[in-house]
Copies of this chain bind each other. A is one copy, B any other.
Amino acid sequence: MKKNLKLGIFGFGCVGQGLYHVLNETHGLKAEIKRICVKDRSKTRPLPQELFTYDRDEILLDPEIDVVVELIDDADAAFQILKSALQNGKHVVSANKKMIAENLDAIHTLQQQYDRSVLYEGSVCGAIPILRNLEEYYDNDLLTGIEGIFNGSTNYILTKVFEEKKSYSEALKQAQELGFAESNPALDVQAFDPKFKLVIAIAHAFGVVVKPEDIINIGIDRIEDVDLAFARKNGYTVKLIARAIKSEGKIFALVAPQFIENENPLSAIRLEYNAVQVQGAFSDKQLFVGKGAGSYPTGSAVLSDISALTYGYRYEYKKIYQLPVNTFSDDWTVEVFVRFPHGVSVSIADFENFKSGYAANGQNYMVGTVHYSKLKEWAQNEKIGIILSPNASFNAARVSKKATEFSYALA
């Protein structure tokens, strides 16, 4: 049943080189690299020149190549490569979360149309095998929620800022030097990266394909020293949390910084580690922790996808076909801390349920429950700082007891 796979790789950056090394030291995997397509002709490469090409068709039109491994930065070019690979009868492995999240519907359809497989475990939380588990293991469990720390570089920054009392800019610089932060840090610190991952996870957890623009992402770039002081005073830490909860067939999702209590297992996830917590009606809460990025962890996830292709694995997107169908909803509320300077219009009436407020040093602070629509408005105003409350869970009118318990500690 196992076949010998010939691979064509696009991109030979950090993940590509990691994959090469992992492949090289692995026993028993029937796969070999036939060609690597790169862009920059001036770079010296650590491998024999004949392995490389600058012409994508030397991979895409090579009938000997079974699998295209797409590891480039540019999401639009990546999607073109994916389409062309499928059209030419090749399977695709990718770790490009932006490309996958933005084209999930099309990728699902294309796989059926060309009867080929697209696997992308490396796109969500690196070495944590979350997609395969959501797809296979939680197949028939009644999943009620998924939440976690989906971005390693912002978690690294937040850890350094809290533990070593570094400034935000120092910590960012250090994260970039260590290779945890993208060359364009906005994707990370403005929380686009974890949002793309959440979009992909939602499809495999709940069978709902959401557009990235329909999920609010609030970054850590708006956190100020006063927020950190508040957290410290209350024994909290701050984590950037991606979360989706299901209640009565409706899916609620949000990516935002949150004050996290010590008892919450996510408070213990340090540095560049990622964590995913899955809540099932019967399996109860489960936590997966691992390295979310980096050449070897991601290379290892990509390798696992290649290995799965040797026995014909493909995502079945089972939840999409299960009844009753879940739908995405923006009718929910959540408890937040907001901070805004004088002159910015935030008022008590904006809250569904106002808890407290005070003003000091030209800043105003308010705590209470807000509706999605108001949060979306505030998210677009950079002057407003927004951090979710420690017990922030989605308080949709119809939310079940299980769902509201989700953001609490493991035990």
Task: Please report A residues at the B interface, Cβ cutoff 8 Å.
Answer: 18, 21-22, 25-29, 127-129, 132-133, 136-142, 265, 268, 270-273, 280-291, 296-297, 299-301, 303-304, 307-308, 318, 321-324, 410-411
Given A271-B411, A411-B271, A22 and B287 touching (CB < 8 A)?
no
Q: How far, in whole Å, are A328 and B67 apart by their CA atoms in the complex?
A: 37
Cβ–Cβ < 8 Å partners of A273 in chain B: 410-411
Cβ–Cβ < 8 Å partners of A410 in chain B: 270, 273, 289
Given A287-B288, A297-B284, A304 and B411 touching (CB < 8 A)?
no
B142 pairs with A25, CB closer than 8 A:
yes
Cβ–Cβ < 8 Å partners of A301 in chain B: 283
B137 pairs with A26, CB closer than 8 A:
no
Cβ–Cβ < 8 Å partners of A139 in chain B: 28-29, 304, 307-308
* Interchain Cβ contacts under 8 Å between A and B, 30 examples: A25-B281, A26-B140, A27-B322, A27-B324, A28-B139, A28-B140, A28-B321, A28-B323, A29-B140, A127-B284, A129-B137, A133-B133, A139-B304, A139-B308, A140-B304, A141-B304, A265-B289, A268-B268, A270-B410, A271-B411, A272-B411, A273-B411, A282-B297, A283-B291, A283-B301, A284-B296, A286-B290, A287-B287, A287-B289, A289-B410
| List of 10 A-B pairs having minimum Cβ-Cβ separation, nearest first | A286-B290, A127-B283, A282-B300, A28-B322, A287-B289, A283-B300, A129-B137, A29-B140, A282-B296, A26-B140
Cβ–Cβ < 8 Å partners of A128 in chain B: 286
Given A268-B265, A286-B288, A411-B273, A136 and B140 touching (CB < 8 A)?
no
Interface of A: prevailing SS: mixed
Which of B282, B300, B318 is close to A28, meaning CB atoms less than 8 Å apart?
Answer: B318
* Assembly stoichiometry (copies): 2
Q: Smallest Cβ distance from A160 to chain B, in angstroms?
A: 12
Q: Smallest Cβ distance from A28 to chain B, in angstroms?
A: 4
Q: How far, in whole Å, are A284 and B271 apart by their CA atoms in the complex?
A: 14
Given A28-B318, A283-B297, A411-B273, A141 and B303 touching (CB < 8 A)?
yes
Sample of 7 further A-B pairs with CB below 8 A, known A21-B282, A132-B136:
A22-B282, A28-B140, A140-B304, A284-B291, A287-B289, A287-B290, A288-B288
Cβ–Cβ < 8 Å partners of A284 in chain B: 127, 290-291, 296-297
Given A136-B132, A300-B280, A270 and B308 touching (CB < 8 A)?
no
Cβ–Cβ < 8 Å partners of A28 in chain B: 139-140, 318, 321-323
Q: Smallest Cβ distance from A234 to chain B, in angstroms?
A: 20
B137 pairs with A132, CB closer than 8 A:
yes
Q: How far, in whole Å, are A132 and B137 apart by their CA atoms in the complex?
A: 8
Cβ–Cβ < 8 Å partners of A289 in chain B: 265, 286-289, 410
A141 pairs with B300, CB closer than 8 A:
yes
Q: Smallest Cβ distance from A26 to chain B, in angstroms?
A: 5
Cβ–Cβ < 8 Å partners of A26 in chain B: 140-142
Cβ–Cβ < 8 Å partners of A282 in chain B: 18, 21-22, 127, 296-297, 299-300, 303
